[in-house]
Amino acid sequence: MRTTEPLHATIVAFDVERSGGRDDHLILRMRSDLRDMVAEVLRRQSIDPGIIDITDLGDGLRLVVPAQVPPSELLDPFIANLAANLRRHRRTAAPSARLRLRVAVHMGLLHRDDGGWAGLALVHCARLLDSAVLRRHLEAAHRADLAVILSCDVFEQVVGPGYGLDPDACGQVLVMEKETSVPAWIHVPGYPHPSTVPVVEEPVPAAPDAAPAPIVAVRPASGGRWRRAAPRFWSAAVVAAGSVAALAWLAGAGPRTGWVVPLAMLPVCLAAGVWHAWPPSAVTWRSRHPEFTIRMLVGDLFTQVDADLVIGFTDTFDTSVTGDRIIAGGSVQGQFLVREYGGDKARLDADLDLALAPVPVAAVEQRSAKRLGKLSRYPLGTVAVLGQPGRLRYLAAYSRMGNDLVPRSSVGGLWHSLAQLWDAVYEHGQRRPVAMPVVGSGLARIDQLGPEALAHLILLSFVARSRETPICRELRIVVHPSDAARFDLRALGRVIDSM
């Protein structure tokens, strides 16, 4: 069958752990047992195997399941039934014939031609299945027979909203395989959470790309961040003292004038140490190919008058700051209402309604469930573009507003939302500079990562996307002075330099 239009499908891929160490007889039994096991699980769920395209991967299988089968059914009870079958198999099989599986689940658009299925979704699923982080989890989970990795799409669109698997039994990981660097989610049946699996983490390798241009501007900070600066200052002071002693020895300690030169150089050495040790207020990095600039600075987001701004919102695009019950007045979102709209909530809501009119509503809450605020939910990653060219505001929904009025975010949701943000900037921004806060580090915080790691994630997303398509001339990440102590801009500068 040949298709000219892409078809949406769920992809489930299986790989048997340590299959390469088996002889021919064991490999043949492994393949037969795996096929029978998967077929039996499908039969138990009354899923017609005739509508599923099953590909033999040599040491595993890949299922391409059409959209008529809900993806949630390929998680629950599929995963639980598969785990039960593997446990039964373990009781009767010799240790050399035991099956332990890595399973990857993804969904997306695929093309079909005379040679079979093709598409980026298949490549992405293969990267997840072969990822080192999934291998480490299965290897460490001694009482489990399989470990499952879910793509961001599957988690955010299926598991997160409450279908298929318990979201609390899934843990976020970062998959870095070849050209792929994306968040994903791991589930290990038999463990309450992947964090309880005794995994020995390995250091993440540096990106293999050619070395970019170095940091070109670092200026001393004006604030009082002595706590971060003190260790570096004392190191510099020790070096300065050693230099003075060496110069004194070379000059000869006998004549009184022998100490003049080293003593005169002491203030210079100490000043150089302070300059080196003091935390910078800004770091700037420039890429030549493609051409763009990243700048991180301590300052006020709303004074970046030469840049378009990014403001983080929730999926309900709530705007009320009354009593800080829905939106905190001191948050970036609250400040946006006050400083850009003069506190005129009705005008902001009218602009939002106009910007969101083309976007389908994902769900509508009942007033009995969500007692305050707006009821319409938009897809995570929705970007409402307000303003005019030369003064645009990108309102990006990267977190979900709970009915209890507590916003909740995830690394996967942020990564997905950043991808949608760059699309909007590319479409509307005319390559003007863009300024944004470290989204996810405020009240709608992402607890899995600290503020500096969140900044790292934003930078990684921007650089990766810019190497595909130039987005803007400059990305400016602005840290408010009250949060400056939470960030080491010098260290983040080295992170940027390593990209």
In degrees and rounded to multiples of 5, residue 252 shows phi and psi of 90, 125
The single-letter code of the amino acid at 265 is M
Please state, in angstroms and rounded to a whole number, the distance separating the CA atoms of residues 409 and 427: 26
- Domain co-membership, 73 together with 164: yes
212 in any annotated domain: no
Q: What is the DSSP letter of 393?
A: E
CATH code of residue 92 = 3.30.70.1230
Same domain, residue pair 404 and 300: yes
Residue 342 identity? G
Are 190 and 238 part of one and the same domain?
no
> Chain-centre distance of CA 191, in angstroms?
24
Q: Per the domain annotation, does 1 fall within a domain?
A: no
In this structure, the answer to whether residues 244 and 289 fall within a common structural domain is: no
My answer on whether 39 and 111 are in the same domain is yes
Domain membership of residue 38 (yes or no) is yes
| Residue 351 belongs to a domain | yes
The single residue listed with the structure tokens 């997306």 is: 108
Q: How far apart are CA 444 and CA 379, in angstroms?
A: 17
Q: Which structure tokens are listed for 462?
A: 């921007």
Out of 64-73, 74-83, 249-258, 318-327, pick the least confident.
249-258
The answer to whether residues 260 and 371 belong to one domain is no
Q: How far, CA to CA in Å, does 126 sit from each of 15, 69, 72, 78, 357?
A: 10, 21, 20, 20, 37
Collect all residues with Cβ–Cβ distance below 8 Å to 448 and sequence separation of at least 6: 172, 410, 411
Structural domain contains residue 213: no
pLDDT, residue 346, reads 92
Look up residue 431 and give its DSSP letter: B
Domain boundary among 237, 254, 277: 277
pTM: 0.51
Question: 377 - beta bridge partners?
Answer: 363
Please give the mean pLDDT across all residues of the chain.
80
Asked whether the bond before 205 is cis by omega within 30 degrees of 0, the reply is no
Is residue 98 assigned to a domain? yes
Distance between CA atoms of residues 391 and 409, nearest Å: 28
Is the model's pLDDT at 137 over the cut of 50?
A: yes
Is residue 203, in this structure, part of any structural domain at all? no
For 313-327, the pLDDT digits (tens) are: 999 999 998 887 888
pLDDT of residue 215: 33
What's residue 50's pLDDT?
A: 87
Tell me the Cα Rg of the chain: 28
**pLDDT(222) > 80:** no
Q: Is the pLDDT of residue 253 over 60?
A: no
Q: Are residues 189 and 245 in the same domain?
A: no
Same domain, 154 and 297: no
Query: Do 69 and 17 share a domain, yes or no?
Result: yes
Q: What is the mean pLDDT of residues 93-104?
A: 86
Contact between residue 347 and residue 356 where contact means Cβ atoms under 8 Å apart: no
Q: How far is 39 from 192, CA to CA, in rounded Å?
A: 27
Alpha helices in 344-410 (DSSP H): 345-356
Domain count of the fold of the chain: 3
> Which of 135, 128, 154 shows the shortest CA–CA distance to 197?
135
Buried b (16+ CB within 10 A) or exposed e, 108-126: bebbbeeeebebebbebbb
What is the reported pLDDT for 225?
A: 43
Q: Name which of 56-60, 233-237, 428-432, 489-493 the model is least confident about.
A: 233-237
Per-residue pLDDT reduced to its tens digit, 415-455: 889 999 999 999 999 899 999 998 877 655 565 667 777 88
205 burial via Cβ count (<10 Å: 0-12, 13-18, 19+) = exposed
Backbone angles phi, psi at 234, to 5 degrees: -65, -35
My answer on whether 416 and 310 are in the same domain is yes
Whether the pLDDT of residue 468 is over 90: the answer is: no
Do 242 and 132 lie in one domain? The reply is: no
Tens of pLDDT, residue by residue over 389-417, are 888 999 999 988 988 888 888 888 888 89
Do the beta carbons of residue 479 and residue 487 sit within 8 Å? Answer: yes
| Domain range for 104 | 7-196
Domain termination site, one of 176, 196, 216: 196
Task: Specify whether 249 is located in the same domain as 288.
Answer: no
Q: Is residue 220 part of a domain?
A: no
Tell me which of 234 and 346 has the higher pLDDT: 346
Cβ atoms of residues 74 and 103 within 8 Å: no
Report the 10 Å Cβ neighbour count for 133.
21
Q: Tell me: the pLDDT tens digits for 291-313? A: 888 888 888 899 888 999 999 99
pLDDT bin (cut points 50, 70, 90) of residue 238 is low
User: Which pLDDT band holds residue 105 (cuts at 50, 70, 90)?
Assistant: very high
Helix axes 24-44, 78-92, angle to 10 degrees: 140
Cα–Cα distance measured from residue 199 to residue 204, given in angstroms and rounded to the nearest whole number: 14
* CATH code, domain with 392: 3.40.220.10
Q: What distance lies between CA 456 and its chain's CA centroid? A: 9
200 — pLDDT class (breaks 50, 70, 90):
low
Query: Tell me, what's the pLDDT at 446?
Result: 64
Whether pLDDT at 214 is above 50: no
Mean pLDDT of the region 183-212: 66
CA dihedral 389, 393, 395, 398 (to 10 degrees): 100
Residues 337, 348: contact at Cβ < 8 Å?
yes
